[in-house]
Amino acid sequence: MRVMGNSGGSLTTRCSGELHQFMRAAGFTDIDETKALAEGWQVTDFADAGPRSLANLVRQMRTPALMVSFLDSDVGFIEALTPDGNSWEGLLNREIAESYEIPLEQFPLEPAVAGALAWSAAAGLTPDEKAVRRTLTTSALFAEELSSTLLTALGLPGAT
């Protein structure tokens, strides 16, 4: 029997103000508590986001942001954007995604790795390329575990 999991998402960005206000204005709904990392980076869970929510948030705040939308805690869809318009997409838990019949060719690995490294550098972070690649190709019971591992691989200070 499969237990229903998280179908919301998480947003990671740097913010010195009230992140929840920025998120609501950008189209995020049912915003949960924020976990502070270090150097102003924060991770906030949310129930839903509109199709332009990430772009709206980055435009408002003028800071890089990374969003992971979860499908029943099994799969994570990554979207990341920098203020200068550089973006990348990726997929967490590729093997399980395949069982959902999600077309993996829509989420090619090499562009995701390159995009992740460029996003991290643009955010002033120091990524670990091997760890990023491993995170984007490995499996875990919950996609949220891989999301946390990705933040560490991207070099976010205080991520564990």
Q: What pLDDT score was predicted for residue 153?
A: 98
Backbone region of residue 2 per phi and psi (left: phi > 0; alpha: psi in -120 to 50; beta: other values)? beta
Q: In the predicted model, is pLDDT for residue 155 greater than 80?
A: yes
Q: Answer for the pair 4, 72: CB distance below 8 angstroms, yes or no.
A: yes
Q: How far apart are CA 10 and CA 75, in angstroms?
A: 13
Q: How far apart are CA 8 and CA 5, in angstroms?
A: 9
Rounded mean pLDDT of 122-140? 97
Rounded mean pLDDT of 3-25? 84
For the entire predicted model, the pTM comes to: 0.92
Pairing of β 75-81 and β 28-29: unpaired
- Closest by Cα among 127, 87, 94 to 108: 94
Q: What pLDDT score was predicted for residue 104?
A: 95
pLDDT digits (tens, 9 = 90+) for 19-53: 999 999 999 999 998 999 999 999 999 999 999 99
- Measured in degrees and rounded to the nearest 5, phi and psi for residue 112 equal -65, -45
Q: What pLDDT score was predicted for residue 17?
A: 80
Rounded mean pLDDT of 137-142? 95
Say which residue, 69 or 5, is predicted with more confidence.
69
Residues sharing a CB contact under 8 Å with residue 155, sequence separation 6 or more, in sequence order: 120, 125, 126, 127, 128
Q: How far apart are CA 17 and CA 93, in angstroms?
A: 33
Rounded mean pLDDT of 121-130? 96
pLDDT digits (tens, 9 = 90+) for 52-104: 999 999 999 999 999 999 999 999 999 999 999 999 999 999 999 999 999 99
Q: What pLDDT score was predicted for residue 123?
A: 95
Element (H, E) at 145: helix 143-153
Q: What pLDDT score was predicted for residue 23?
A: 97
- Closest by Cα among 84, 47, 71 to 147: 71
Q: What pLDDT score was predicted for residue 33?
A: 85
Q: Which band of pLDDT confidence, cut at 50, 70 and 90, is reported for residue 6?
A: low
